[in-house]
Amino acid sequence: MKPLYYTLITGASQGFGKALAIDCAKRNMNLFLIDLTGTGLKDLAVFLEESFKIKVHFFHMDLSSKAYCEKLLEFVHHQKIEFKFLINNAGVLSTGFFNEVDINYYLKQIEVNISAPTRLIKLFYDQLKRNSPSGILNVSSLASYFCLPTKQVYGATKAYLSSLSRSLNLEFKEDQIWVSIVCPGGMNTNPKMCYKNRNMGWFAKLSVMDPEEVAKITMDAFLNKKEVIIPGTINKFYLTLAKLIPQSISERITTIQMNRFRAADLSIG
Ligand SMILES: NC(=O)c1ccc[n+]([C@@H]2O[C@H](COP(=O)([O-])OP(=O)(O)OC[C@H]3O[C@@H](n4cnc5c(N)ncnc54)[C@H](OP(=O)(O)O)[C@@H]3O)[C@@H](O)[C@H]2O)c1
């Protein structure tokens, strides 16, 4: 009998992860959803199972904990769950001046944004190889392309993820596992992000998209094995422009935008 294949999505309870989960469900993909706190994930799983006649498992864990990752592996083996797609979406965002943000916040951000996706790829590589052709989608950010004051650590974690993905895409080719990254610009994923995005300058505001729209563009491109996915015409235009104009000018624009962004909310996150 042909095994049932699942798509693992981290950070699926809200925001972009939830939009990705709904988009995958519409494509009849069985899902394994992960979040931290458990708020609403069970309801989402029931809704998706009933609406789209797919199988959905869910698991609450702290992705920054190695012990939890081992528990996840145990659970997956015990339930005989087979993954064909791995989507590393969960991420900790931040805005704040480096010397004002607690070091423990940054260390947690590095654990969730860097260590967790690296660990999950390592943990499920054998499965993905066995179930190939298969794919890994890592959720990076447009921020990975720029030097962003007040988003220094966040941007650096996303640059790591982009670099890792492109290298692995070459390395895993023989195993028929492709690795994609998606680099969204601003998305209205939760009330805090909506508020922050509303308070950005008009130039940056133009690029803000709804997570549902980004999810559809992303999944279409990912399932077509596109390596680097930049959703939205404006975001593609910004990237091209950034390559053309002198660095000193692009850094000046970036600094003005970041200061406006930060002025909208002085707290991190
Ligand atoms: N929002 C944007 O403008 C934007 C732009 C570019 C890229 N991105 C990227 O898109 C991804 C999703 O962003 P988002 O705005 O949708 O985030 P979000 O609304 O804050 O949702 C984050 C998700 O990750 C889960 N999560 C957080 N920390 C976790 C941990 N330690 N262990 C397990 N799960 C954890 C949360 O679970 P709980 O609900 O249980 O807390 C939630 O499901 C991130 O990688 C982000 O960097 C976002």
**Contact of 189 with 14, CB cutoff 8 Å:** yes
Q: From ligand 1's centre to the CA of 20, what distance in Å?
A: 12
Cβ 63 under 6 angstroms from ligand 1: yes
* Tokens linked to 155: 């941007």
Reported as a pLDDT band with limits 50, 70 and 90, residue 259 is confident
How many A from CA of 249 to the centre of ligand 1? 31
Beta carbon of 187 within 6 Å of any ligand 1 atom: yes
Does the Cβ of 19 fall within 6 Å of ligand 1? Answer: no
| Higher per-residue confidence, 19 vs 241 | 19
**Mean pLDDT within 244-255:** 86
Q: Assess whether pLDDT exceeds 80 at residue 47.
A: yes
Query: What pLDDT does 132 receive?
Result: 98
Domain 5-264 CATH superfamily: NAD(P)-binding Rossmann-like Domain (3.40.50.720)
| Atom 14 (ligand 1) nearest CA | 15
Q: Is the CB of 15 under 6 A from ligand 1?
A: yes
Nearest CA to ligand 1 atom 29: 36
Asked if 87 contacts 20 with a C-beta cutoff of 8 angstroms, the reply is yes
95 C-alpha vs ligand 1 centroid, how far in Å?
Answer: 14
Instruction: Using the atom order of ligand 1, give the atom closest to the CA of residue 64.
Output: 31
pLDDT at 156 over 60: yes
Ligand 1 mean position, distance from CA 89 (Å): 7
Distance CA 116, CA 269 (A): 18
Over residues 235-259, the mean pLDDT reads 86
> Tell me, what's the pLDDT at 206?
85
Whole-number average pLDDT of the chain? 93
Ligand 1 near 36 CB (within 6 A):
yes
Q: What is the mean pLDDT of residues 37-56?
A: 95
Q: Does position 73 have pLDDT exceeding 60, yes or no?
A: yes
pLDDT at 214 over 90: yes
Q: Is 16 in the pocket of ligand 1 (CB under 6 A)?
A: yes
* The pLDDT of residue 262: 67
Does the pLDDT value for residue 220 go beyond 50?
Answer: yes
| The predicted structure's pLDDT at residue 152 | 94
Please, which pLDDT band fits residue 266 given cuts at 50, 70 and 90?
Answer: very low
111 lines ligand 1 (CB under 6 A): no
Please work out whether the CB of residue 161 comes within 6 Å of at least one atom of ligand 1. Answer: no
Q: Is the pLDDT of residue 212 over 60?
A: yes
pLDDT digits (tens, 9 = 90+) for 116-146: 999 999 999 999 999 999 999 999 999 999 8
Task: Name the more confident of 215 and 190.
Answer: 215
> Is residue 64 within 6 Å of ligand 1 at its C-beta?
yes
